[in-house]
Amino acid sequence: KLVDLAHYSHYMQKEIFEQGSAVANTLEERITNNCMLEIETFGDQVEAVRILACGTSYYAGMVARIWLESMGIPCEAEIASEFRYRNPVVPDNALVVAISQSGETADTLAALNQASKLGYKYSLAICNSPFSQMTRVTDLVLHTRAGPEISVASTKAFTTQLVSLLLLMIALAKRRGMTVDEEAEIVSELRALPSRIEALLQMDKDIAELSDYFADKEHTLFLGRGTHYPIALEGALKLKEISYIHADAYPAGELKHGPLALIDAKTPTIAVAPNNHLLAKLKANIQEVRARGGKLFVFSDSGTPIKSDELIEVIEVVKSGPFTSPIIHTIALQLLAYHVAVTKGNDVDNPRNLAKSVTVE
Ligand code: AGP
């Protein structure tokens, strides 16, 4: 490999630990003390956004959809392999955003092609590979500066995608009345993010200690709400990919509509539980699991009023603002999946049946 492992055991581990600097690089020259410097977008011409991507990159899109909507920008996020075979209604002045680490994913490229045939007016690629095919077919490119990602399981590409999507959100929202103060608040969260990531990474040993519990499990359920539901999906995907434990993620409100039937003493649940406006609702869902004798691992942040007991283990991650908390929680779940895979003796960087970049349909 062209990239040295340094003192790390696996590329995935190295890439998890590089996320503080990857995020700092992605932000460099794009923000100042309290505002975002211009990034090239289509600004006030954009009236609606459609995000297309696969796998982990799609989950970044799901988070961004909630962000953009909260700024009054209509947005849909869709799996590229589905979009490419549909004929959806295209809103006026719509921007299509493709998200991809590799820039070579066949379905995402085909979905972009479909979008241009359907008449999407503007296109943007959020991409980690500056010379990839994707960067040649869109009008604009926002480069995530994560550096080469070698491990099949995506880590730093995802977190820098989220950072880039926040920049896109600010760029579009500024034209729709986002105030200077609102912008400053998000920018200050972003500026604090690299050091918060470093602080989170200090939890590596604590999270590693959880891996024995999971190593002999066959199923795990992940729960989240709002912007942290896609993070639950991402946590489940990481665990599936490298530890081969079947993992499913649900928006926590859906528990009663089916997945609760799966809960027993052998099926642990991981709840992504930041202390935000949805916590009270999530707490009720946590109790539903607990009442069925299911073991819970609750990834909270400081101040989350949930206590550990014989069935609930609270893991308190670093507190961060509402926009960057999905990133912090993601990294905790990356570490968990990594350590479970290591404990099981799996080939962490090259999981069975998977390729780093999926260039065929
Ligand atoms: C993530 O861990 C996966 N290996 C996979 O889902 C990946 O995110 C997906 O194949 C999309 O790849 P891309 O970002 O290069 O387009």
With CA atoms as reference, report the closest residue to 270 among 319, 321, 318, 217.
217
Taking only the tens place, the pLDDT of each residue in 92-151 is: 999 999 999 999 999 999 999 999 999 999 999 999 999 999 999 999 999 999 999 999
pLDDT for the residue numbered 264 = 92
Provide the mean pLDDT of the chain: 95
Compute the distance from residue 360 Cα to the ligand 1 centre, in Å: 13
> What pLDDT shows up at residue 282?
94
For the CA of 153, the nearest atom of ligand 1: 2
Average pLDDT score over residue span 246-261: 95
The reported pLDDT for the residue numbered 43 is 74
Percent helix, strand and coil across the chain, each to the nearest 5: 45, 15, 35
Are 319 and 274 contacting, i.e. CB atoms less than 8 angstroms apart?
no
pTM over 0.95: yes
Question: Which atom belonging to ligand 1 lies closest to the Cα atom of 129?
Answer: 15
Residue 175's pLDDT is what? 87
Residue 194 has pLDDT above 70, yes or no: yes
Token pair 């980690």: residue? 128
Which are the contacts of 283, defined by CB distance < 8 A and separation ≥ 6? 273, 305, 306
Taking each helix axis as running N to C, give the angle between helix 19-27 and helix 180-201, from 0 to 180 degrees, rounded to the nearest 10: 160
253 SS3 class: helix
- Ligand 1 neighbour 100 (Cβ under 6 A): yes
Task: Please give the residue that has the higher pLDDT: either 4 or 327.
Answer: 327
152 alpha carbon – ligand 1 mean position (Å):
8
Q: Find out whether the beta carbon of 81 lies less than 6 Å from any atom of ligand 1.
A: no
Q: pLDDT tens digits for 287-320?
A: 999 999 999 999 999 878 899 999 999 999 999 9
For ligand 1, say whether the CB of 101 is within 6 Å of any of its atoms: yes
The predicted structure's pLDDT at residue 37: 84
- Whether ligand 1 lies within 6 angstroms of the CB of 223 is answered as no
Residue 65 alpha carbon to ligand 1 centre in Å: 18
Predicted pLDDT at 228: 98
Given a cut of 80, whether residue 38 has pLDDT beyond it is no
Q: Which domains does the chain have, with CATH numbers?
A: 11-200 (3.40.50.10490), 204-343 (3.40.50.10490)
CA-proximal residue: ligand 1, atom 6 (nearest): 55
Residue 238 has pLDDT above 90, yes or no: yes
Partners of residue 123 on adjacent β-strands = 96
Model ipTM? 0.99
- The full length of the chain comes to 361
Give yes or no for residue 334 CB within 6 A of ligand 1. no
Q: Which amino acid, 24?
A: A
Cβ of residue 358 lying under 6 Å from some atom of ligand 1: yes
Q: Which atom of ligand 1 is nearest to the CA of 356?
A: 4
Instruction: Report residue 1's pLDDT band, with 50, 70 and 90 as the boundaries.
Output: low
How many angstroms is it from 249 CA to the middle of ligand 1? 17
Name which residue sits closest to atom 2 of ligand 1, judged by CA.
153
In this structure, of 174-178, 212-216, 223-227, 254-258, the range with the lowest mean pLDDT score is 174-178
Q: What is the pLDDT of residue 3?
A: 86
> What per-residue confidence (pLDDT) applies to 305?
87
Read off the pLDDT of residues 73-89 as tens digits, 9 standing for 90 and up. 999 999 999 999 999 99
The percent of residues in the chain predicted with pLDDT above 90, rounded, is 91
Q: How far is the CA of 54 from the centre of ligand 1 (A)?
A: 6
How far away, in angstroms, is 110 Cα from ligand 1 center?
A: 15
Average pLDDT (169-184) is: 93
**Which DSSP string corresponds to 188-230?**
HHHHHHHHHHHHHHTTHHHHHTTHHHHHT-SEEEEEE-GGGHH
Q: Give the confidence band of 36 by pLDDT, cuts at 50, 70, 90.
A: confident
Protein residue whose Cα sits closest to atom 10 of ligand 1: 55
